[in-house]
Amino acid sequence: MQEEIDLVISEPLAGSVQYEMFRGQRNGWAMARCLVFMVFLVSCLISTVGLPVEPADEVAMQLGGVGGGRLSVEPSDLTEASRDFGRLTMSEPLAVFHPRGAEDVAALVKAAYASPGGGIRVSARGHGHSISGQAQAPGGVVVDMSHGWRAEAAERALPVYSPDLGGHYIDVWGGELWIDVLNWTLAHGGLAPRSWTDYLYLSVGGTLSNAGISGQAFHHGPQISNVYELDVVTGKGEVVTCSESNNPDLFFGALGGLGQLGIITRARIALEPAPHRVRWIRALYSNFTEFTADQERLISLQHGSRRFEYVEGFVVAAEGLINNWRSSFFSPQNPVKLSSLKHHSGVLYCLEVTKNYDDSTAGTVDQDVEALLGELNFIPGTVFTTDLPYVDFLDRVHKAELKLRDKGMWEVPHPWLNLFVPASRIADFDSGVFRGVLGSRTAGGPILIYPMNKHKWDPRSSVVTPEEDVFYLVAFLRSAVPGATDPAKSLEALERQNREILEFCDEAGIGAKQYLPNHKAQREWEAHFGERWARFARLKAEFDPRAMLATGQGIFDSPPLLAES
């Protein structure tokens, strides 16, 4: 699920009343500054790339020429660009740019780069699923990538077979949603990308700027390990095509690069034949050592018919099993009874695996699953299974989203914390966090835990992972519901727990690394990257020398605000 950090120019605003006050106080002068800014920026565009411009109204202008991108200061656009899924920070840009293609993005960035005073802040925004303001551009321009190049179905690229690659691929726009990529490739050849995130309503460029992980990553690697080629608009406004053999520094630097080296406008994604159906299985554990030993054994298996295609897990309090939103799987309608849990209290661990099949393998799927489960050490009587179409499994979180939206529990603060934890210290993490900081409670939302194989991650990418052959994702995907009667579910309590978890990891020397990292100072970023920092800083200086891009991450010193320059 995409991901980023923010150095805001004002204090974070958590409540809707505060936000309306914020909007009311700033609206007048913000619009005036926007108007000045737009005249300035359009002048730069005219002088830099020769774009013809005509005024649309007093607060917006159409950019003609290359593709017809539109610069907007409409209040609705500014409001949308000032917030994200996390709802933890709000930083309003001066304008929002709607490109139709890579040329428009390049023209905007080139003009920003050429502007006097150190450049103008520019951040790409997919569909707003960042957590901590990473795609925000306070006092700058947010590039709305959600519609460009996606215009007409007839203009979209079809899957292509490459003899050199030994498989199919598809070229997609950086702002495309993964769910749309899936539906398109299924409809044109029965194909699908190999590696996924749990939630498909994320943009391609967003997940590739982080890593893109789910339960398939142990076998296929993250999404960034399943890309053949990129088009990237650098901080100089240049559209650069890059791959492992062509401009490799930019290619690997942009993959997992948190948007620091450029804006991904096109990605060439590896495809495979999509299975038809999925056997979805969950089993419960009370012993953490047995749980992780079984997970690590499963990700070590290589033979196709004798391995699961997806391996994840999550942590849940025994008494909250039925009420947990990921646990609709364990519904009262499930024929397997939960009576086997009556002697278990405190923390339970749920293994979640799948076996893909189609018509040709349907006759052996039962045998394959039985053989694999027979070697595991879950609590007897706690295996829960269901069969469903492959697409329905991949889109499972969206169904949970719709339920939460109906209850008014989706558009709330999400103080998420994602960590990569070395396998050698995962038991210490369990005792110190699950049974320590959390006190055997899992209030607020799901806590995922599953291992991955490091050899499936290309070390040339910008992603930072622990230096061990196996490491775990531990994801605290919790929501703060306003007005909750349980104080443990308040935003303040969840953020305090996040700090305590990070402090424990630091004091205990766990060696964890944040995924979708959220650091507040450059020294923290330097510690995050470790020995990779020098290379990352060098690439930043080469491809975004004015440090204009993705300033919401707060990694490098940003250009001054327009009013300050």
Active site residues: 129, 198, 312
| Phi, psi angles (nearest 5°) of residue 162 | -115, 115
CA 195 – CA 67 distance, rounded (Å): 32
CB of 182 within 8 A of CB of 193? yes
CB of 420 within 8 A of CB of 512? yes
CB of 202 within 8 A of CB of 85? no
The length of the chain in residues reads 565
**Residue pointed to by tokens 């700027």:** 209
CA 394 – CA 196 distance, rounded (Å): 8
Beta-carbon contacts of residue 35 (< 8 Å; ≥ 6 apart): 58, 59, 73
CA 359 – CA 345 distance, rounded (Å): 42
Q: At 270, is the secondary structure helix, strand, or coil? A: strand
Cβ neighbour number for residue 36 with a 10 Å cutoff = 13
CA 163 – CA 151 distance, rounded (Å): 30
CA 542 – CA 44 distance, rounded (Å): 22
CB of 555 within 8 A of CB of 541? no
CB of 553 within 8 A of CB of 260? yes
Closest to 263 in 3D by CA, of 254, 275, 253: 254
Q: Which structure tokens are listed for 61? A: 């202008």
Q: Which structure tokens are listed for 497? A: 């727990």
Strand 95-98 versus strand 70-72 pairing type = antiparallel
**Tell me, what DSSP letter sits at residue 140?**
S
What type of residue sits at position 424? S
CB of 8 within 8 A of CB of 66? no
What angle do helix axes 533-543 and 522-529 make, rounded to 10 degrees?
120
CA 429 – CA 424 distance, rounded (Å): 10
Cβ neighbour number for residue 179 with a 10 Å cutoff = 16
Q: Which structure tokens are listed for 332? A: 């009262």
Q: Is the dihedral of CA 329, 331, 335, 337 positive or negative?
A: positive
Strand 95-98 versus strand 122-125 pairing type = unpaired
CA 378 – CA 285 distance, rounded (Å): 5
How many alpha carbons fall within 13 Å on the CB side of residue 133? 26
H or E element, residue 234: strand 227-234
